[in-house]
Structure 1
Amino acid sequence: MEPLVSICIPAYNNAAYIKDTIDSILNQTYKNLELVIVDDKSKDDTVAVIKSIPDERIRLYENEKNLGMSGNWNHCLELCKGEYIKLICADDMLAPDAIEKEARALTEHPDVVMAESDTRLVDLNGKYKGWYRRYRTKGVESGKKIARKGFFSQNYFGAPLANMFRKSVLDEVHGFDTNYYYILDYDLWVRIACLGNVYIIHEPLNFFRVRNDSNTGEVMAGDKTETYVKEHRYLVEKHAKELHMSKVEVELSVLIRRLRNFAGSVYLKLFVHD
């Protein structure tokens, strides 16, 4: 039997895109999955769109009050029953064989705590806008090595949709850190990666929508750069001891993050439009 995989969608005002996201999950080549969707008191027709899709694998939950992003993301994790978990935002999509390939990596490699794949960046119309690659090697790699090197270059773990992890690690990492607003997923991936090895698949198995009105868009546009940089400093200082980083290396990481934010703002203005 294939292990049960829990795919989580934390939803909030996503009526315009969530059907595409759901369809990309239900049409996976890997069939033993549950789709856990938690709506955080949406004000649009998100719930109606979800209820219009007839599939017994969908488990819809409606929060009695708005929990906010970190609260709702953690609630999603609490509701999962699968051996493996993947969280995807309600406007992103997966390639048809994404779950099959990532679940196989976890099944065949017991020392791997997380599997991840490359990401295609698309606009609101699905038009290709770029490619976000994971760490340069492929196959099994040390999670701590990836995390440390990422602090001096880029977030190799990327957005939530790129990663699948074992449910068993939740007892050790305790979900998303509510002190973050922008990079709560980055922090979780670092904590999981530090527990063992990561399996890297250099294929674009997921599709991330680049939007001006998203959290990522706000950061890349420069509007929330200072807040983001403060969160990055908190992230690096939090993990500095475990990853053997000096004070000088912490400051270098923060500087590199600031420069990458600037480069991201240029990219957004040139290539992404509302």
Structure 2
Amino acid sequence: MTTRDPEKPLVSVIMPAYNTAAYIAESVDSVLDQDYPSVELIVVDDGSTDGTIEVLRAYGDRLTLLTQQNQGAAVARNAGIAAASGDYIAFIDSDDVWLPGKLAAQVGYMDQHPQIGMTFTAWHNWKPDPSGTFLKPDSAEGVHPKNPDGKSLVERGSGWLYNRLLFGSLPHTITVMMRRDLVERIGQFDPELKRGQDYDYWLRASRLTEIHQLNLVTALYRLHGEGCITKYPDTNYEYEVVRKALRRWGRLGPRGEKTSLGAIRRRLAQTCFSFGYHHYWEGDPRLALRSFRQSALRYPWSASAWAYLALSAWKSVGRKAH
């Protein structure tokens, strides 16, 4: 087990894992090799069949291994949180990597700013070379400023973020750190959301605390073409998350900030258009047709929505004919 410093706040790191035997050791090592002295790593295997568990068992008591039948990342994260005992909760996925110094930087900032319940940072996309090998970039040597301008925070990503988050999920899960008491107030990740459960969680957090984006790069997000991000869903989860937030809290932020109805209509239309566009080219044209109809009704001034509505109607008829 990693030696802990009882005078330092304990950080519980939650890692869901599913069929990432090729990458997970590098992810685990990036947590265990952090220079912050008080960490517990909880890995929740979500029904892997590729040897992931064998890789994890080799670490012995350096990590806590939980197993479950395949139920998705939300359920896995909830199980990890339930087993956590830390003052802070941090998240990493089992194919991504933290840079040295990540935990120390975020704990240091949050210790100095006790009113802030959640922080996140920038990250780098990590692509393989032409042979498929992942070579760490020079920036992987350790935490470094995204823009070396001397500022500790990224202004756009810091503050009472609810109204900004209605227009997109700013934090990347692998960079997030939260206070345990905030997590307890928010509750569980929504298991009904097969995608976007993290976006939903940050929206819920944004009603309860300021969120600060540190002006640092602290993680590498591995782009290997094998994750769920490459499998486009049949449900427009982004639309559902935003609609859920609006039904619950409306357009008014926790400090009185108000988003215009027109901006919300454009935002919802955009999510429908994007979902329809993916399905028009790579998925189900009937789903595309439905989505472009929603987009056009929400923002009828979009010529692109009407054009793709007509094209997807024609494509759907052609598919039916065959």
TM-score, normalization by structure 2: 0.69
Q: Distance in 2 between matches of 1:239 and 1:78?
A: 27
SS in structure 2 opposite 1:70?
Answer: helix
* Structure ranking higher in strand proportion: 1
- Structure 1 portions without partners, runs of 5+: 266-274
Q: Report Cα offsets for 1:27-63 as digits up to 9, x if no partner.
A: 1010200000111221110010011125x44111122
Deviation at 1:224, TM superposition (A): 3.5
Contact 1:229–1:254 (8 Å) recurs in 2 = no
Of 162, 175, 190, the residue aligned with 1:162 is 175
Q: Report Cα offsets for 1:104-135 as digits up to 9, x if no partner.
A: 1111111000011111111252566xxxx79x
Residue of structure 1 equivalent to 2:28: 22
Contact 1:147–1:156 (8 Å) recurs in 2 = no
Deviation at 1:169, TM superposition (A): 1.3
Q: Distance in 1 between matches of 2:9 and 2:54?
A: 30
Percent of aligned pairs sharing the same letter:
24
Of 45, 49, 65, the residue aligned with 1:43 is 49
**Gap change, CA 1:76 and 1:232, over 3 Å in 2:** same
Q: How does 1:1-274 map to 2 (within 5 A)?
A: 1-54=7-60, 56-63=61-68, 65-124=69-128, 125-126=134-135, 138-139=152-153, 145-152=160-167, 154-157=168-171, 159-218=172-231, 223-224=232-233, 227-237=236-246, 238-243=248-253, 244-257=258-271
Bigger relative CO (Cα 8 Å, ≥ 6 apart): 1
**Gap change, CA 1:229 and 1:165, over 3 Å in 2:** closer
**Gap change, CA 1:30 and 1:263, over 3 Å in 2:** farther
Contact 2:18–2:47 (8 Å) recurs in 1 = yes
**Gap change, CA 1:102 and 1:72, over 3 Å in 2:** same
SS in structure 2 opposite 1:86?
Answer: strand
Q: Report Cα offsets for 1:147-176 as digits up to 9, x if no partner.
A: 312333x4211x211110011112221121
**Gap change, CA 1:113 and 1:140, over 3 Å in 2:** farther
Deviation at 1:68, TM superposition (A): 2.6
Q: Distance in 1 between matches of 2:70 and 2:166?
A: 33
- Structure 2 portions without partners, runs of 5+: 1-6, 129-133, 138-145, 280-322
233-242 or 27-36, which moves further after superposition? 233-242
Q: Distance in 2 between matches of 1:193 and 1:225?
A: 28
Contact 2:196–2:238 (8 Å) recurs in 1 = no
Deviation at 1:233, TM superposition (A): 3.7
Contact 1:7–1:34 (8 Å) recurs in 2 = yes
**Gap change, CA 1:262 and 1:236, over 3 Å in 2:** same
Deviation at 1:195, TM superposition (A): 1.1
Deviation at 1:197, TM superposition (A): 1.7
Deviation at 1:8, TM superposition (A): 0.8
Residue of structure 2 equivalent to 1:271: none
Indicate the RMSD between aligned Cα atoms, in angstroms.
3.0
Q: Distance in 2 between matches of 1:144 and 1:235?
A: 22
Letter in 2 for 1:253: R
Contact 1:126–1:209 (8 Å) recurs in 2 = no
Contact 1:4–1:84 (8 Å) recurs in 2 = yes
